Amino acid sequence: MGQPDSREEEPPQLPPGQRLQRGWPVTHYGPVPKFRPERWEFRVFGATADGDKHCWTHEEFTSLPYATVVADMHCVTKFSVLGAEWGGVLTRTVLDLAPPAPDVTHVMVWAEYGFSSNMPLADFADERCLFAGHRDGELLTAEHGFPVRLIVPHLYAWKGPKWVRGIEYMTADRRGFWEERGYHNLGDPWREQRYSYQEEPGDGPEL
């Protein structure tokens, strides 16, 4: 009989300061919005290539090409959820259908109650970034962002708001809700960019 394998399974790699979370805690600011499908609309506006606003009803948006991405989620409150399968509409699909103007550098993600989060266009256009309506094959709950939340796997989770309603194309950076309230303008978990006092020159607009 052979000797048992003494090698231990390697622990998952986590960004600095993060801890592995087995469940999926609910974290958000403010109340959970009530979903009214007949009034729901997804908008792309600002510096679009054609100068027009682009809109989808809920039925139209959920009929766009469906994709899945297996990705981790790193919350700035220091928990990480690993290996979830997110299903929805790739941000690249929206960029193809409603292209930005050539001079667009950033986007502002708008959600219910006026919540917003900014990021460079390159982060938004990442191939693993998507508007998720499903996790592990199941519809998101309202508490976790149904009908649409943005998943940006390489940034802290606050950069991907719940209850997304639109995208604004911008030709200059502008801070979003949490970025105006002391969170880092860029939010890279691997560089532990949690708070604005950690910012270096060029990381974002002045507070």
pLDDT, one tens digit per residue, over 128-139 is 999 999 999 999
Residue with tokens 């860029």: 186
Rounded Cα distance between 207 and 88, Å, is 34
Q: Which fold has domain 41-198?
A: Sulfite Oxidase; Chain A, domain 2 (3.90.420)
Mean pLDDT over all residues of the chain?
A: 92
Confidence class for position 160, pLDDT limits 50, 70, 90: very high
Domain ranges of the chain: 41-198
Q: Is the peptide bond before 147 cis (omega within 30 degrees of 0)?
A: yes
Dmax over Cα atoms in the chain, in whole Å? 73
Confidence check: pLDDT of 29 > 80: no
What percent of the chain is modeled with pLDDT above 70? 92
pLDDT of residue 5: 47
Confidence check: pLDDT of 1 > 60: no
